[in-house]
């Protein structure tokens, strides 16, 4: 391969992204200047937050500019180095985006252990999604043994970890996932007590039946009809960490009324509930070491399982990402860029 | 006086309470049994939460039953005692409700210092409203010097204390109140930096102009149009203690759409905001001593001011309470029951 393939933002999506919103371009592989390194992407992480970066609505991070490379976390190898901190062959966690090669000055690039058995874990269970699950559940959710913890998107990269940690803390854990296969995986493989299929017509009634003593912690990453079913079940003193709202990312306008903003606030008041949004590295970056140690320990003891949904080839990233927003992935979605 | 006057709940209000929802009845002054005391009410506190107790919708406390005495915090004198812990003449903080006399077994009745210069303070700045202001602002709001703190109902029993504590912590404090007199009081007497009149047609624009760097802490007790003006001004990392939503207490149905529930959750997520409802004695009862010490110190140093809106006569409590829900009171609303 002598060219660098890049997937750039071709247009801002109106509603759900379409293939035309992405464009694959090719250019010469760049050459690192003094102090810089050339990174060859091995794995690209695909995550729901990327939908926000495709829009220019105000958010917590600036949008990707039109014709710029789509952003994203990556595992890469150092292919050339003019920076003494990196040597050719180093395996790194970087933020190279949707492209074969990237130039970096080394800032924010972390060298991974050379003997790491499965480097893609640094994009999932040991990376941003796992860290999100860990801090959101433990710091904001404050689960106590015996609590009922409900987890949205329970087979996903974050939810799967949330529920397993909650089980380790002695909670009763109810997952919510889309489809029977995912629900079976959540209960049989991950060990949740129950998992409700959000696609079932009587989903809300099933969730209520699954939570006879109400919900103490609801880990939110979905919103929409899932939250609507959760809202009336929340207990006094409940905690709601909010790390995402994937059901709303393609919204083009507010849904029809009635307006339930006051209803939500009234519920928070009457039931003394804490609802808190967080962006993992912004809020908890200083505690990554604590997370990494705890999670590594659990993994080594076989207490936490994880599943990757591996897609082959950078050119397939747009389709995989569009599927992610529809819940088509099964496990942490990762693109293998270097074959 | 040889009879006990009581104001009972005559009917559950539909929307705003009316005089017909209350009924004044008279009965013989009760006689304390063994272990009991007879309390003569001196002051009755009127507070917005009482509207919730008039409804049988699910809430954090059981409703007042029809024909039962309306609940409420009181200052009382012990008029007769068959309980060795109390002697006739003791001044107490009790929960006697809307009546001249009450029987108690002493549980939850706290003796006040006999030389207390202004016992009604135990219903306001040193009682539930002051405690609500203190814990909500300091524990949930976590104000830092230089923060912009916005306070709803700024001349009220809670808001007035919130803003003064925020000033003591070095914050820039913007009040919101209804009418010029209240706003003048909030800035001239209480020392807030600014106060915006929520009745002004361009209230939202004035608030935005008053918060050029956004809002770091919003102390919520109102909801409705006040929160609508606050929402777009909230900063990344903002904190929102919610102790009340007086604008909604008389709502009979949800307002017309669009549905902004998802908008609120999306704002909490994107801006990493914490919104937390609390009920002061349920959540913080164990920290009352800490509050009492700090507030007593500030009062003795003249650092905290407060204003009482004193209504004469138990028979006037319903009208005063109905006015409270419309913002007609000016300062902590208290009924002087014993003339």
Tell me the pLDDT tens digit for each residue of A150-191.
999 999 999 999 999 999 999 999 999 999 999 999 999 999
**Other beta carbons within 10 Å of B282:** 12
Query: So what's the pLDDT on residue B57?
Result: 82
Q: CA B257, CA A258: separation in Å to the nearest integer? A: 4
Q: Which residue of B has its CA nearest to A274?
A: B276
Across the interface, of B244, B256, B258, the residue whose CB is closest to A269 is B244
| Cβ within 8 Å, pair B282-A272 | yes
| Mean pLDDT, rounded, of chain B | 96
Number of A to B CB contacts under 8 A, please give it: 150
Share of chain B above pLDDT 90, in %: 94
| Cβ within 8 Å, pair B277-A270 | yes
For the stretch B200-206, contacts whose Cβ atoms lie closer than 8 Å and that sit 24 or more positions apart, written own/partner, are B203/B176, B203/B229, B204/B228, B204/B229
| Cβ within 8 Å, pair A248-B262 | yes
Q: CA A48, CA A17: separation in Å to the nearest integer? A: 12
Residue B33, pLDDT > 90, answer: yes
Q: CA B175, CA B193: separation in Å to the nearest integer? A: 8
Residue B1, pLDDT > 70, answer: no
User: Which residues in chain B are closer than 8 Å to A267, comparing Cβ atoms?
Assistant: 277
Per-residue H/E/C for A194-210: EEEECCCCCHHHHHHHH
Q: CA A212, CA B109: separation in Å to the nearest integer? A: 36
User: Which residues in chain A are closer than 8 Å to B60, comparing Cβ atoms?
Assistant: 236, 270-272
Do B96 and B41 form a contact (C-beta atoms < 8 A)? yes
User: Which residues in chain B are closer than 8 Å to A52, comparing Cβ atoms?
Assistant: 270
| Cβ within 8 Å, pair B274-A274 | yes
Rounded to two decimals, the ipTM of the complex is 0.92
Tell me the pLDDT tens digit for each residue of B245-297.
999 999 989 999 899 999 999 999 999 999 999 999 999 999 999 999 999 99
Q: CA B183, CA B177: separation in Å to the nearest integer? A: 6
CA distances from A296 to A135, A303, A305 (A): 15, 10, 12
pLDDT band at A60 (very low <50, low <70, confident <90, very high): confident
The label of the residue with tokens 């990762």 reads A334
| Mean pLDDT, rounded, of chain A | 96
CA distances from A326 to A98, A120, A153, A170, B284 (A): 20, 23, 11, 32, 43
pLDDT band at B114 (very low <50, low <70, confident <90, very high): confident
Question: What's the DSSP call for residue A254?
Answer: P
Name the nearest CA neighbour of A160 among A334, A332, A338: A332
Mean pLDDT (whole number) for B81-90: 97
DSSP-assigned letters across all residues of A231-273 = GGGEEEEEEEEE---GGGTT--SPPPSS--HHHHHHHHHHTT-
Mean pLDDT (whole number) for B38-63: 92
Do B240 and B275 form a contact (C-beta atoms < 8 A)? yes
Q: Which pair of structure tokens corresponds to residue A189?
A: 């493989």
**Coil, strand, or helix at residue A282?**
helix
Q: CA A251, CA B206: separation in Å to the nearest integer? A: 31
Tell me the pLDDT tens digit for each residue of A6-58.
999 999 999 999 999 999 999 999 999 999 999 999 999 999 999 999 999 87
Q: Which pair of structure tokens corresponds to residue B184?
A: 């003048």
Return the bridge partners of A24, or none: A7
Residue B186, classified by CB atoms within 10 Å of its CB into exposed (0-12), middle (13-18) or buried (19+), is buried
Residue A108, classified by CB atoms within 10 Å of its CB into exposed (0-12), middle (13-18) or buried (19+), is exposed
Share of chain A above pLDDT 90, in %: 94
Tell me the pLDDT tens digit for each residue of B282-337.
999 999 999 999 999 999 999 999 999 999 999 999 999 999 999 999 999 999 99
Do B218 and B230 form a contact (C-beta atoms < 8 A)? yes
CA distance A256 to chain B (A): 5
Query: So what's the pLDDT on residue A1?
Result: 58
Name the nearest CA neighbour of B310 among B96, B64, B77, B75: B75
| Cβ within 8 Å, pair B256-A257 | yes
Q: Which residue of B has its CA nearest to A269?
A: B277
Peptide bond into B96 cis (omega under 30): no
Mean pLDDT (whole number) for A277-301: 94
Residues 6+ apart with CB under 8 A from B289: none
Mean pLDDT (whole number) for A57-66: 86
Mean pLDDT (whole number) for A93-122: 94
Lowest mean pLDDT segment, chosen from A41-45, B47-51, B57-61, B299-303: B57-61
Pairing outcome for strands B37-45 and A332-336: unpaired
Domains recognised in chain A with CATH numbers: 3-120+307-336 (3.90.180.10), 128-281 (3.40.50.720)
Q: CA A326, CA B294: separation in Å to the nearest integer? A: 54
Query: So what's the pLDDT on residue A59?
Result: 75
Residues in chain B: 339
Mean pLDDT (whole number) for B99-120: 93
Which residues of A have a CB under 8 Å from any CB of B?
Answer: 52, 58-60, 220, 223-224, 227, 236, 242-245, 248, 251, 253-279, 282-283
Residues 6+ apart with CB under 8 A from B317: B7, B22, B44, B46, B70, B98, B311, B335
């Amino acid at each position: 391969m002598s060219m660098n393939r890049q997937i750039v933002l071709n247009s801002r999506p109106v509603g759900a992204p379409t293939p035309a919103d992405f464009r694959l371009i090719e250019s010469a592989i760049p050459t690192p200047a003094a102090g810089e390194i050339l990174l060859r992407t091995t794995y690209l992480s695909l995550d729901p937050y990327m939908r926000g970066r495709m829009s220019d609505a105000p958010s917590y991070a600036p949008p990707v500019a039109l014709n710029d490379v789509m952003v994203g976390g990556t595992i890469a190898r150092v292919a050339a180095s003019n920076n003494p901190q990196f040597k050719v062959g180093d395996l790194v966690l970087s933020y190279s985006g949707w492209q074969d090669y990237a130039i970096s000055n080394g800032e924010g690039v972390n060298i991974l252990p050379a003997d790491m058995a499965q480097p893609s874990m640094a994009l999932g269970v040991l990376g941003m999604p796992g860290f999100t699950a860990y801090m959101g559940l433990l710091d904001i959710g404050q689960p106590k043994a015996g609590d009922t913890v409900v987890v949205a998107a329970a087979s996903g990269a974050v939810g799967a970890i949330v529920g397993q940690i909650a089980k380790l803390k002695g909670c009763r854990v109810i997952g919510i996932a889309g489809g029977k296969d995912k629900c079976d995986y959540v209960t049989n493989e991950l060990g949740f007590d129950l998992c409700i299929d959000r696609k079932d017509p009587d989903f809300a009634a099933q969730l209520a039946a699954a939570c006879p003593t109400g919900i103490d912690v609801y880990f939110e990453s979905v919103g929409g009809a899932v939250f609507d079913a959760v809202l009336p079940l929340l207990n006094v003193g409940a905690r709601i960490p909010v790390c995402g709202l994937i059901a709303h990312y393609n919204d083009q306008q507010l849904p029809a009324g009635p307006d339930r903003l006051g209803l939500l606030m009234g519920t928070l008041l009457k039931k003394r509930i804490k609802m808190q949004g967080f962006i993992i590295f912004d809020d908890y970056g200083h505690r990554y070491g604590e997370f990494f140690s705890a999670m590594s320990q659990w993994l080594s003891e076989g207490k936490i399982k994880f599943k990757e949904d591996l897609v082959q080839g950078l050119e397939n990233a747009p389709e995989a990402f569009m599927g992610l927003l529809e819940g088509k992935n099964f496990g942490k979605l990762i693109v293998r860029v270097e074959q």
